[in-house]
């Protein structure tokens, strides 16, 4: 969309004729950055969460994974949530993860929450007000649950560092009912969990 708009602008304004080309070239040649899942510090539990939305059908699903400071699998979840938008799916994924933290008696843990939607992470972290009533309710509910935790931080990570949660969210599209795994991850996620524990890195262009 950005490229299309810039091309139209070239026709109207000759003074901007070369700007889009320079920007694209500069971004393309930036040094790639290394991305990896980072295990939490001693005494902390980490929740990675993700939402998935199919553009053609609008069907959405959620997933998440809890691991300890040794990168060991504690719990994972995956489910279909019907038709909704991607923002709602991301928030529902976090909300479900927080619910499971409380249900399992882990509210006294130091908890690190991590997702790959930077805009939504900032909305929650800064407790911003949004126009959509449905999204605002989810943000309010999430902040309420977070306040019940002993200690909690929320951060953004690129998708390469959120692969396990992404996989669980993708699996949710095929779930007829919500699934929760304890102690042993599902076979589809086991390889990613092992790679994360080993510190596997991926190169990403900014």
% of residues, the chain, pLDDT over 70: 85
What are the helix and strand counts (H, E) for the chain? Answer: 7, 8
pTM: 0.84
* CATH no., domain 44-204: 3.30.420.10
First to last CA, the chain: 18
- Domains of the chain: which residue ranges? 2-30, 44-204
Which distant-in-sequence residues (6+ apart) come within 8 Å of 114 by Cβ? Answer: 46, 47, 48, 49, 154, 155, 156, 157, 161, 162
Is the separation of the CB atoms in 52 and 163 below 8 Å?
A: no
Which distant-in-sequence residues (6+ apart) come within 8 Å of 186 by Cβ? Answer: 76, 78, 168, 171, 179
Lowest mean pLDDT among 17-26, 91-100, 114-123, 180-189: 17-26
Specify the residue for token string 């479900």. 96
Q: What is the DSSP string of 15-27?
A: GGTTHHHHHHHHH
With bands split at pLDDT 50, 70 and 90, how would you rate the model's confidence at 105?
A: very high
Which distant-in-sequence residues (6+ apart) come within 8 Å of 122 by Cβ? Answer: 128, 156
> For position 22, what pLDDT does the model report?
45
Three-state DSSP at 82 gives strand
The secondary structure of residue 31, as a DSSP letter, is P
29 vs 104 pLDDT, higher one: 104
- Tens-place pLDDT, residues 151-195: 999 999 999 999 999 999 999 999 999 999 999 999 999 999 999
Question: Is 126 a residue whose pLDDT tops 90?
Answer: no
- Category of 175 on φ-ψ map: left (φ > 0), alpha (ψ -120 to 50) or beta: beta
């Amino acid at each position: 969309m950005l490229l299309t708009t810039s091309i139209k602008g070239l026709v109207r304004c000759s003074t901007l004729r070369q700007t889009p080309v320079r920007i694209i070239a500069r971004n393309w040649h930036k040094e790639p950055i290394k991305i990896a899942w980072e295990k939490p510090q001693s005494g902390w539990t980490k929740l990675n969460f993700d939402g998935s939305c199919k553009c053609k059908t609008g069907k959405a699903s959620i997933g998440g994974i809890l691991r300890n400071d040794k990168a060991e699998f504690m719990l994972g979840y995956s489910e279909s949530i019907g038709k909704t938008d991607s923002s709602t799916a991301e928030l529902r994924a976090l909300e479900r993860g927080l619910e499971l933290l409380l249900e399992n008696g882990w509210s006294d843990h130091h908890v690190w929450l991590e997702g790959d939607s930077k805009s939504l992470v900032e909305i929650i972290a800064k407790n911003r007000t949004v126009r959509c009533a449905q999204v605002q309710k989810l943000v309010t509910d999430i902040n309420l649950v977070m306040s019940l935790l002993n200690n909690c931080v929320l951060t953004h990570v690129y998708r390469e560092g959120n692969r396990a949660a992404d996989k669980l969210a993708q699996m949710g599209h095929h779930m007829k009912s919500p699934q929760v795994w304890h102690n042993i991850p599902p076979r589809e996620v086991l390889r990613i969990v092992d790679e994360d524990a080993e510190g596997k890195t991926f190169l990403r262009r900014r």
